[in-house]
Structure 1
Amino acid sequence: MSRLKGIAGRDTRAGFRTESRDCSACVPQGLLKAARKSGQLNLSGRNLSEVPQCVWRINVDIPEEANQNLSFNASERWWEQTDLTKLIISNNKLQSLTDDLRLLPALTVLDIHDNQLTSLPSAIRELENLQKLNVSHNKLKILPEEITNLRNLKGLYLQHNELTCIPEGFEQLSNLEDLDLSNNRLTTVPASFSFLSSLMRLNLSSNQLKSLPAELSGMKRLKHLDCNSNLLETIPPELASMESLELLYLRRNKLRFLPEFPSCKLLKELHVGENQIEMLGAEHLKHLNSILVLDLRDNKLKSVPDEITLLQSLERLDLSNNDISSLPCSLGRLHLKFLALEGNPLRTIRREIINKGTQEVLKYLRSKIKDDGPSQNDSVTETAMTLPSESRVNVHTIITLKMLDYSDKQTALIPDEVFDAVKSNIITSINFSKNQLCEIPKRIVELKEMVSDVNLSFNKLSFISLELCTLQKLTFLDLRNNFLSSLPEEMESLTRLQTINLSFNRFKILPEVLYRIPTLETILISNNQVGSLDPQKMKTMESLITLDLQNNDLLQIPPELGNCVNLRTLLLDGNPFRVPRAAIIMKGTAAILEYLRDRIPT
């Protein structure tokens, strides 16, 4: 009965009945009853224009059922209710919140994203237990200073608002680990951000930043920094001292030079595509010892230095849409899983070799290396260690390259000994290409916690089994040269997939499930029978940068495709449409999209 002490002497019952009737139309009593037990209430997508009073007072007022029952069993003791700790009121039509917010002091999660809020009440300072606040996709122009009182806040999501500045004292949020300020109108970042000592992820993308404060280097735990789509011309050299940094996104800025990172020993991904970088030198590469992904697409590079071989950990290299006419043969020594070269005036490698994919290009470059003898890397590969019981399994690639390679065997079945050979080793890549597989091996599911790259090209697959859909870390999937005509809906669960190659199959439409994978950056579906695509759904694919539809059956290109402004490479050659004309196609992606936009019906 201790819960009643706070409301003793007040006639809360009198006002409750009227409020309850008004409230029940928006919030079913059963939902409130369940929330009193669980401490969680989800009111998303209910078309609410204001938060019903019974929600704010859920832990203050005596429930209606208390007025109707004289006896309660153990599960109905309303006076033993749980304080509300999680409130979700997203996807509604809220324009404001009242100061009654203070009646829920136990809240740890408040999710009000996708509403029409222009401000937050000052009473938010009283939610001292709050750990996660999501106010993204609203119309906030300013944050109240009181937000700096939320000292237990770990996640703050403010993306897609209209913020132009950050309030004084923001650095007091010392427990903040995840901060998303993307898609606002910020022109500066406060130097005081350096005091956000717990911050691990900072998203500043799609703002109007012309510079970053050198003080950001004080964030000693920061792992993920996203500054895509700003107006940055330089990066302060102090950022090179951020020893914990693992992912750095600088796409779509105005950088002319690749920054140097002598202290970023853990940097795994560097994305500097769509800038104005003209030169790549040894000084830019020599410190990137741990780099796995290097994105240099859509710049002005004219060459790649021999020192690229310093990047021995590199797995993915994107050089597309530059001005590169030749590649160093030493590039063939890298163990790349993905190499993008389209959109370069390459003269030293035939187009047919490039079209065959990464491994064929690397093989070609290795064949051109003029050495006195085999390189150390080559000799190790040729004399790869094998165990007597696993004579057909290259254990060397398992141990050193973290790859399960059983390719070019022309087999219809992957032997159990291949999977047995993995044992306790970490595997990040699978290569079962150039076989006769009619289905995906079921034992692939054993590697679902590790694998990020899968190559099943040049087989006889006519369907995709659900085992593949369990690979939650999958980022790269090569299914070209099979007999596929559809993809399972369950592929929607591949929430990290960035690149899929479906070229040389039997697709007649772009598979619907692809529209629902928001992380996709590259779709290669050339040489199929694709006759249509949905430009409205494609516009929602905000990460999509490359779409290869060459040699399909497109009779027309929908003008609305011009709204897909994030596309940097759109390949349409070899289709039977009459417009755009070949002269437009030859001008490149930007010209095609502009042409299509001009023809959208008004």
Structure 2
Amino acid sequence: MSRNRGGGVGGRAPLKPRAGFQKPAQQDSNAVSSALLKQAMRSGQLNLSNRELAKVPDSVWRINIDIPEEAKTVSLDKTEDGWWEQTDLVKLILACNKLQEISNDIQQLPALTVLDVHDNVLTSLPPAIGELLNLQKLNISHNKITSLPSEMFQLRHLLSFHVEHNDLTELPEGIGEFIHLEELNLSHNKLTTLPYTAGHLGKLKTLNVSDNQLTSLPTSMGMLKAVRILEASNNKLPEIPTEVGDMKSLEQLYLQHNVLSGLPLLRACISLKELFAGNNRITVLSPDHLEHLATVNVLSMRDNKLYQIPEEIVNLRSLHRLDLTNNNISSLPNKLGTLTSLKSLVLDGNPMRGIRRDIISRGTQGILKFLRSRIEEEPSSKDATDSVSASDPSSAMGVVAAVTSKTLDYSNKKVAEVPVTLWEPAREAGVANVNLSKNVFTEVPTNVILLAKTVTELNLSFNKLTTLPAELQMMVNLTHLDLRNNAISTLPSEWSTLVKLREISLSCNRLKEVPAVVYQWAELENLLLADNQIGLIDVVNLLRLPKLSTLDLQNNDVMQVPPELGNVQSLRSLQLGGNPFRNPRPAVLAKGTPALLAFLRDRIPT
């Protein structure tokens, strides 16, 4: 005999759906399980997030009032479930639901310290929220709230208030009543001003007013002595009040994407570590500004209208990152090269004329090294006797000054020869770097061969050399050779022994062709030949340099660029501007090296 237990077809019980194919049970949006409420009574915490609630059940508001069902059948044998031992609700999370309102019944939860209703569709808060005098954390972010009830400013114990991503058009004066507030997030609203009373938040540590429509900040900002992070980006601020400079605890200041024409003097911000002021209209970064940024690690001035950086930038000894992208800067102070802490210097998008593009392509350390090489020696601040001794290479002090840290530096002396007293100390010191630039040498000092075994870098730039000695072939460990700004027309073929050479600069000389010996240096990475008279690009020989990364042929006499040059795919920087050829056009050159090489490859005859 068949039994009908479930109303199934033929009297059989209906089949249960297989695991993995069950349809989720439809949740009653106005119901909360008694088990969850019972657990909340014990813990004092109730999490109802992500339940698609359209309304908060009355049982939640009355959780501290209603007598549980088990109270009607009290049993002394079940003391662990005793209703009289329940804890007042202190934490209520209603986030990520569909709540359109919060009932005034919330006043029946006076012990609440945390209330989180973020990500709902609330347009207002109930006046009764002001009854939650123990509330410390309130999160009403990601709703549609247009105003705040005056009653809520009775919440004198509030520590954290999140209002971001709402529709507030103004902030009531009552905000100043939150005297214990430490964190305030007002971002992504429609505020045009902040009340003066915002400066009364004496314990505030983090203030975020970004992504509003602010056109001004109150002068009372200077009273916020505890604020460490001020985020005011993405507004319409034309200026920052000078009083912001009185925020002595400020560590991070974000002002990017406004319409600022200048920076405030951050005179008392002795703890400032990061300043972001990009995407504004700032034209001047003055010495007065830099004077108060001595502790800054990160300085971003990208996308402004700066045309120069003052030498006082060297006073920022803690600077790790300097972003100057997309300004009008044509040169940098040479002393910037002395900032040993600087790890990242970004110059993209500037009309740099004082630094060649191939140097910029070497990255931060390459740029700093270049700037250091251009620093002219300054007179000693010591007495006249010491000055004479330090500049006299025949004295002990003069030798020490010229030969230090495996370096022989006798640059910028405007002399025609190197004193013989320097060579033996240099040999004994095993110098690796020899700098003889900015003199008036007409020939390479012969004694330099004494250092042939140890020298890796030799700088003979800015002299009057016309020929070079074959004897330099003995410098087999040479990796960097700088011969810029001379009158050289060729290189000795004997230099084929310089097989470790990675970079040679021959810019501003009298070369009519690339010296043949260059093509024998298989380790060569940077070949700098700008401002000569070279008329031919020898692609066949260039392909013999497998590591060639930078080729600078700017301002020469090249009439034709062979398409096969596109096959030199090791190139990362190819500079051809200032030559008389017609193709590629300047517009193609401006697109950068990868695009230029692709353009040339596309024109190789097949």
Q: Given the two structures, how large is their TM-score scaled by the length of structure 1?
A: 0.57
Q: 2:333 aligns with which of 314, 319, 328?
A: 328
Give the C-alpha shift of residue 290 in structure 1: 1.2
Residues in 2 aligned to 1:166 and 1:139: alpha-carbon distance in whole angstroms: 15
Counterpart among 163, 166, 171 of residue 176 in structure 2: 171
Question: Residue 360 in 1 paired to residue 366 in 2?
Answer: yes
| Closer/same/farther in 2, CA of residues 373 and 63 from structure 1, 3 Å limit | farther
Paired position in structure 1 for 2:415: none
Query: Is the counterpart of residue 261 in structure 1 residue 258 in structure 2?
Result: no
Q: CA RMSD in A?
A: 3.0
- Among 5, 25, 38, the alignment partner of 1:33 is 38
Alpha-carbon separation, structure 2, partners of 1:259 and 1:374: 36
The CA deviation at 1:161 is 0.5
The answer to whether residue 75 in structure 2 is matched with residue 50 in structure 1 is no
Residue 337 in 1 paired to residue 343 in 2?
yes
String of CA shifts for 1:279-314, please: whole Å, max 9, x gaps: 111111011121111110110111111111011111
User: Take 1:82 and 1:280, find their aligned partners in 2: how far apart are those partners?
Assistant: 59
- For the residue of structure 2 that corresponds to 1:208, the secondary structure is coil
Question: Which has the higher mean CA deviation after the structures are superposed, 322-331 or 104-113?
Answer: 322-331
Aligned to 2:98: 93
Counterpart of 1:498 in structure 2 is none
What is the CA deviation profile of residues 401-423 of structure 1, one whole-angstrom value per residue up to 9, with x for unaligned ones?
Answer: xxxxxxxxxxxxxxxxxxxxxxx
Question: Quick one: structure 1 residues 336 and 75, their matched pair in 2 at CA, closer, same or farther if it must change by over 3 Å?
Answer: farther
Q: In the aligned structure 1, how far is the partner of 2:80 from the partner of 2:365?
A: 64
Deviations 1:202-240 (A, max 9, x none): 111111111111112112212211111111111111221
Counterpart CA distance in 2 for 1:181 and 1:208 is 12
In structure 1, distance between residues paired with 2:93 and 2:303: 41
Question: Are residues 341 and 64 of structure 1, via their aligned partners in 2, closer, same or farther at CA, if it must alter by over 3 Å?
Answer: farther
Stretches of structure 1 that go unaligned for 5 or more consecutive residues are 1-21, 384-549, 552-570, 579-602
Return the alpha-carbon distance in structure 1 between the equivalents of residues 291 and 225 of structure 2.
Answer: 23
Per-residue deviation, residues 292-345 of structure 1 (Å, max 9, x unmatched): 111101101111111110111111111111121222221111111222222222
In 2, Cα distance between the equivalents of 1:312 and 1:74? 68
CA contact (8 A) 2:30 2:54 kept: no
Partner Cα separation in structure 1 for residue 183 and residue 592 of structure 2 = 40
Distance in 2, matches of 1:193 and 1:372, equals 51
Q: Distance in 1 between matches of 2:359 and 2:39?
A: 63
| 2:86 match | 81
Aligned counterpart, 2:140: 135
Rounded to whole Å, the distance in 2 between the matches of 1:62 and 1:238 is 57
Quote the residue 1:270 is aligned against. Answer: 275
Deviation at residue 23 of structure 1 after TM alignment: 7.0
Aligned to 1:282: 287
Once the two structures are superposed, residues 101-145 of structure 1 have per-residue CA deviations (whole angstroms, 9 ceiling, x without a partner) of 011111101010111000000100110000000001100100000
> CA separation in 1, counterparts of 2:334 and 2:73?
84
Distance (whole Å) between structure 1 residues aligned to residue 29 and residue 37 of structure 2: 9
- Name the CA distance, whole Å, in 1 between partners of 2:29 and 2:152: 32
Pick one of 213, 219, 236 that aligns with 1:214.
Answer: 219
- Could you report, residue by residue, the CA deviation over 1:258-281 in whole angstroms, capped at 9, with x for unpaired residues? 221122212221111100001111
The answer on whether the counterparts of 2:175 and 2:198 sit within 8 Å (CA) in structure 1 is yes
Q: With structure 2 as the length reference, what TM-score do the two structures score?
A: 0.57
Residues 252-261 or 28-37, more deviating: 28-37
Counterpart check, 1:155 vs 2:160: yes
Structure 2 CA distance for aligned equivalents of residues 360 and 29 of structure 1: 69
2:30·2:56 contact (CA, 8 Å) conserved in 1? no
Give the corresponding residue for 1:351.
357
Is the 2:238–2:258 contact (alpha carbons within 8 Å) kept by the matching residues of 1? yes
Residues 35 and 325 of structure 1, relative CA distance in 2, 3 Å threshold: same
Q: Give the match's secondary structure for 1:87.
A: strand
The whole-number CA distance in structure 1 between the counterparts of 2:244 and 2:40 is: 46
Quote the Cα distance in structure 2 between the aligned partners of 1:72 and 1:304.
81
Secondary structure of the corresponding residue to residue 366 of structure 2: helix
Distance 2:305 2:369 in 1: 26
Q: Of 94, 98, 103, which residue of structure 1 is paired with 2:108? A: 103
| Aligned equivalent of 1:189 | 194
Do the aligned partners of residues 69 and 358 (structure 1) sit closer, same or farther apart at CA in structure 2, a change above 3 Å counting?
Answer: farther
Paired residues of 1:145 and 1:168 also in contact (CA < 8 A): no
Distance 2:61 2:308 in 1: 63
CA distance 1:167–1:59, shift in 2 (3 Å): same
Q: Secondary structure at the match of 1:169?
A: helix
| Superposition deviation, residue 574 in structure 1 | 4.4
**Cα distance in 2 for residues equivalent to 1:382 and 1:68:** 91
Residue 92 of structure 1 aligns to a residue whose secondary structure is coil
2: CA distance, partners of 1:575 / 1:65 = 79
**What SS does the corresponding residue of 2:173 show, helix, strand or coil?**
coil
Separation (CA, whole Å) in 1 of partners of 2:318 and 2:82:
60
Report 1:303-452 matches (<5 A): 303-334=308-339, 335-371=341-377
**Aligned equivalents of 1:573 and 1:32: distance in 2?**
67
Out of 202, 221, 230, which is 1:225 matched to? 230
The answer on whether the counterparts of 1:26 and 1:46 sit within 8 Å (CA) in structure 2 is no
Distance 1:255 1:319 in 2: 16
Pairing 1:293–2:285 present = no
The answer to whether the Cα contact below 8 Å between 1:179 and 1:202 also exists between their aligned partners in 2 is yes
- Structure 2: tracts of 5 or more residues without a match: 1-26, 382-400, 407-571, 574-590, 599-606
> Residue 308 of structure 1: SS of its match in structure 2?
helix
CA contact (8 A) 1:84 1:104 kept: yes
For the Cα contact (< 8 Å) 2:29–2:55, is it kept in 1? no
1:473 match: none
Q: CA deviation at 1:72?
A: 5.3
Structure 1 residues 123, 349: CA separation in 2 closer, same or farther (over 3 Å shift)?
same
* Distance in 2, Cα, partners of 1:356 & 1:78: 73
Residue 71 of structure 1: how far off its partner (Å): 4.9
Does the 8 Å contact 1:23/1:52 carry over to 2?
Answer: no
Alignment of 1:446-461 (within 5 A): none
